[in-house]
Structure 1
Amino acid sequence: MAWIAATLQRYPEIAIFLSLAIGYWVGGKSFKGFSLGAVTGTLLAAVAIGQLHITVSPNVKSVFFLIFLFAVGYGVGPQFVRGIAKDGLPQALFAVVQGLLSLGAAILAAKLAGYDLGSAAGLFAGSQTISASMGLATDAINRLGLPPDQTKVMLDAMPTAYAISYIFGTVGSALILATLGPIMLRIDLVAACKEYEAILGGSQETGGAGQAWHRYELRAYRVVPDSRVCGKTVSQVEALQPGDTRLFIERVRRGGTIHEATLDLVLQADDVVAIAGPRDQLVMVLGASDTAGRDVDGQAVAVHAARAVEVDDPELLAVQTEGVDIYVTGKSVHGKTLQELASLPLARGIYLLKIKRGPTETQIPVLPSTKLYRGDTITIVGRTQDTGAAAKVLGVLDRPTNMTDVAFVSLAITVGAMVGAIVINVRGIPLTLSTAGGALIAGLVFGWLRAIHPTFGRIPEPTVWFMNSVGLNVFIAVIGLTAGPGFIAGLQHLGVGLFLWGIMATSVPLILGMLIARYVFHFHPAILLGVCAGARTTTAALGMICDAAKSQIPGLGYTVTYAVGNTLLTIWGMVIIMILA
Structure 2
Amino acid sequence: MSVAFNWFQHVLRIHPEVTFFLVLGFGYALGKLKIGSFTLGAVTGTLLAGVLVGQLEFRISGEVKQCFFLLFLFSIGFRTGPQFFRGLRRDGLQQAFLAAIVATTGLAVAFIVSKFLGYQAGTAAGVVAGSLTESATIGTATDAITRLNLSDADRQMLTNQIPVAFAVTYLIGVIGTAWILSQLAPKLIGVNLPAACRELEDKMQGGSAQGIPVRREFELRAYFIEEGSPLAGASISDTEANMGDQRLFIDRMRRDGQVMNAAPDTVLRAGDIISAAGRRTLLVEHMPGQASGVREIDDRELLDVEAEALDVVVTSRTIDGRRLGELAREQAARGVFVSRLTRAGTPMLISPETVLNRGDVLTLVGSMSRVEAIVGKLGVADRASNATDMVLVSLGIVAGALIGVPALVVGGVEIGLSLSVGVLLGGLVCGWLRSVQPRLFGRIPGPTLWVFESIGLTGFVAIVGLNAGPDFVKGLQSSGLSLLLAGVLTSSIPMLVGVFVGHKIMKMHPGVMLGVCAGASTATPALAAVQEAAKSAVPTLGYGVAYAVGNVLLALWGTVIVALLS
Q: For this structure pair, what is the TM-score category when the shorter chain's length is used for normalisation? A: 0.5 to 0.7
Does the alignment pair 1:73 with 2:77? Answer: yes
Deviation string, structure 1 residues 516-545 (Cα, Å, up to 9, x no partner): 555568794334355457xxxxxxxx5776
Q: Counterpart of 1:180?
A: 176
Amino acid corresponding to residue 110 of structure 2 in structure 1: S
Cα separation, 1, equivalents of 2:127 and 2:363? 47
**CA apart distance, 1:107:** 4.0
Cα separation, 2, equivalents of 1:321 and 1:168? 51
Does the alignment pair 1:289 with 2:272? Answer: no
Distance 1:271 1:481, change over 3 A: farther
Cα separation, 1, equivalents of 2:461 and 2:360? 41
Amino acid corresponding to residue 288 of structure 1 in structure 2: P
Distance 1:529 1:365, change over 3 A: closer
Contact 1:472 1:543 in 2 (8 A): no
**CA apart distance, 1:50:** 1.8
Distance 1:58 1:546, change over 3 A: farther
For residue 479 of structure 1, the aligned residue among 460, 464, 467 is: 464
For residue 310 of structure 1, the aligned residue among 274, 297, 310 is: 297
Does the alignment pair 1:571 with 2:563? Answer: yes
For residue 249 of structure 2, the aligned residue among 235, 247, 256 is: 247
Contact 2:101 2:498 in 1 (8 A): no
Deviation string, structure 1 residues 151-176 (Cα, Å, up to 9, x no partner): x7xx645634652x333311122112
Q: Counterpart of 2:389?
A: 406
Describe the SS at the equivalent of 1:131.
Answer: helix
**CA apart distance, 1:202:** 12
Amino acid corresponding to residue 561 of structure 1 in structure 2: L
Amino acid corresponding to residue 54 of structure 1 in structure 2: F
**CA apart distance, 1:60:** 2.9
Where structure 2 has 5 or more consecutive residues not aligned to the other structure, the ranges are 129-137, 187-192, 206-210, 319-325, 343-348, 507-512, 532-539
Cα separation, 2, equivalents of 1:97 and 1:268? 68
Amino acid corresponding to residue 297 of structure 2 in structure 1: E
Contact 2:397 2:427 in 1 (8 A): yes
Cα separation, 2, equivalents of 1:228 and 1:92? 58
For residue 420 of structure 2, the aligned residue among 431, 436, 457 is: 436
Q: Counterpart of 2:220?
A: 218
Cα separation, 2, equivalents of 1:347 and 1:100? 50
Contact 2:213 2:339 in 1 (8 A): no
Cα separation, 2, equivalents of 1:353 and 1:495? 49
Distance 1:418 1:506, change over 3 A: farther
Deviation string, structure 1 residues 481-517 (Cα, Å, up to 9, x no partner): 12113435xx3xx893356566666665455555555
Cα separation, 2, equivalents of 1:15 and 1:413? 27
Distance 1:379 1:4, change over 3 A: closer
Q: Counterpart of 1:166?
A: 162
**CA apart distance, 1:569:** 1.3
Describe the SS at the equivalent of 1:247.
Answer: strand
Amino acid corresponding to residue 526 of structure 1 in structure 2: G
- Which deviates more from structure 2 when the two are superposed, residues 313-322 or residues 15-24? 313-322
Deviation string, structure 1 residues 321-350 (Cα, Å, up to 9, x no partner): 2244365599xxxxxx979962xxx66654
Deviation string, structure 1 residues 127-156 (Cα, Å, up to 9, x no partner): 5553345346544xxxxxxxxxxxx7xx64
Describe the SS at the equivalent of 2:36.
Answer: coil
Q: Counterpart of 1:143?
A: none
**CA apart distance, 1:254:** 11
**CA apart distance, 1:49:** 1.3
Amino acid corresponding to residue 496 of structure 1 in structure 2: Q
Contact 2:143 2:420 in 1 (8 A): no
Q: Counterpart of 1:496?
A: 477
Where structure 1 has 5 or more consecutive residues not aligned to the other structure, the ranges are 112-119, 140-151, 292-300, 331-336, 357-362, 534-541, 575-581
For residue 306 of structure 2, the aligned residue among 299, 313, 319 is: 319
Does the alignment pair 1:49 with 2:53? Answer: yes
Contact 2:185 2:496 in 1 (8 A): no
Cα separation, 1, equivalents of 2:177 and 2:341? 37
Q: Counterpart of 1:116?
A: none
Give me the TM-score of the superposition, normalised by structure 1: 0.65
Describe the SS at the equivalent of 2:39.
Answer: coil
Cα separation, 2, equivalents of 1:222 and 1:86? 53
Cα separation, 1, equivalents of 2:157 and 2:397? 33
Q: Give the alignment of 1:175-574 within 5 angstroms.
A: 175-184=171-180, 187=183, 213-214=216-217, 216-221=218-223, 238=236, 241=239, 243=241, 247-250=249-252, 274-279=275-280, 282=283, 287-291=287-291, 304-305=293-294, 309-311=296-298, 313=300, 316-317=303-304, 319-325=306-312, 327-328=315-316, 342=331, 349-350=335-336, 380-391=364-375, 394=377, 396-407=379-390, 408-425=392-409, 429-451=413-435, 455=439, 456-487=441-472, 491=474, 496-497=477-478, 508-519=489-500, 524-528=513-517, 531=520, 553=544, 555-562=547-554, 565-574=557-566
Cα separation, 2, equivalents of 1:376 and 1:49? 42
Distance 1:288 1:496, change over 3 A: closer
- Which deviates more from structure 2 when the two are superposed, residues 80-89 or residues 549-558? 549-558
Cα separation, 2, equivalents of 1:515 and 1:281? 44
Contact 1:27 1:42 in 2 (8 A): yes
**CA apart distance, 1:6:** 2.2
Structure index of larger Rg:
1
Contact 1:424 1:432 in 2 (8 A): yes
Q: Counterpart of 1:60?
A: 64
Q: Counterpart of 2:94?
A: 86
Distance 1:377 1:529, change over 3 A: closer
Deviation string, structure 1 residues 279-308 (Cα, Å, up to 9, x no partner): 576569x822352xxxxxxxxx6xx43xx5
Amino acid corresponding to residue 39 of structure 1 in structure 2: V
Deviation string, structure 1 residues 41-84 (Cα, Å, up to 9, x no partner): 11111111122333323233223222323333344344334545
Amino acid corresponding to residue 70 of structure 2 in structure 1: L
Contact 1:19 1:49 in 2 (8 A): yes
Distance 1:97 1:248, change over 3 A: closer
Describe the SS at the equivalent of 2:222.
Answer: strand
Q: What's the C-alpha RMSD, in Å, of the aligned pairs?
A: 5.3
Give me the TM-score of the superposition, normalised by structure 2: 0.67
Distance 1:187 1:168, change over 3 A: farther
Distance 1:59 1:365, change over 3 A: same
Contact 2:148 2:155 in 1 (8 A): no
Identity of aligned pairs, percent? 27
Cα separation, 1, equivalents of 2:268 and 2:238? 14
Equivalent residue pairs, number: 491
Contact 1:126 1:162 in 2 (8 A): no
Describe the SS at the equivalent of 1:68.
Answer: helix
Deviation string, structure 1 residues 391-419 (Cα, Å, up to 9, x no partner): 46x47531431435424344433333332
Amino acid corresponding to residue 53 of structure 2 in structure 1: I
Deviation string, structure 1 residues 355-406 (Cα, Å, up to 9, x no partner): 99xxxxxx99979xxxx9x9999875421233224446x4753143143542
Distance 1:19 1:283, change over 3 A: same
Q: Counterpart of 1:131?
A: 142
For residue 11 of structure 1, the aligned residue among 10, 15, 27 is: 15
Contact 1:327 1:397 in 2 (8 A): yes
Distance 1:496 1:268, change over 3 A: closer
Cα separation, 2, equivalents of 1:461 and 1:498? 40
Contact 2:315 2:437 in 1 (8 A): yes
Cα separation, 1, equivalents of 2:415 and 2:261? 65
Deviation string, structure 1 residues 248-267 (Cα, Å, up to 9, x no partner): 33587999xx9785879999
Distance 1:131 1:313, change over 3 A: same
